[in-house]
Amino acid sequence: MNSFPVKTSARFEMIDITKQVRDIILETGAGSGLCHVFVPHTTAAVTINENADPDVPRDIISILDRLIPLHGPYRHGEGNSAAHVKASMMGASETVLFENGQLVLGTWQSIFFCEFDGPRMRNVFVKVIAAP
């Protein structure tokens, strides 16, 4: 298993991590298989979505903020309950196919690290499973 750090600079942020994941696949030398991307944080997530228009990640963050406001009638005492809910909704992992050493993503798709409680130093784990 491989990992890489992600330094976030804002409370809410979506960072394209496609290149880092692609580089790990290439480093393994595996031609085809599955790539599992996992974020081991309870206030962060990973997702796949459009990266051609920077307004798409901004819209996702905006909608999540309206659905799950920063301040609400939360019981959790640390003040980051909204981040926990957003991370649970988005999910901690994604699995992506790869062929000939390249991720199988749609034309506009990228893999995003989603920060909901930053800024922080985070980690992303990547497990490459080569096809037989």
Q: What is the mean pLDDT of residues 60-74?
A: 95
This prediction has a pTM of: 0.95
Q: What is the pLDDT of residues 35-60, one digit of tens each?
A: 999 999 999 999 999 999 999 999 99
- Work out the angle at residue 91's Cα, subtended by the Cα atoms of residues 4 and 123, and round it to the nearest 5 degrees: 15
Is the Cβ–Cβ distance between 60 and 67 less than 8 Å?
no
Q: What is the pLDDT of residue 30?
A: 95
Range of the domain at 104: 2-130
Mention every residue, 6+ apart, whose C-beta is less than 8 A from residue 118. Answer: 8, 9, 10, 11, 12, 13
Number of domains comprising the chain? 1
CATH of the domain at 30: 2.60.120.460
- pLDDT tens for residues 3-18? 999 999 999 999 999 9
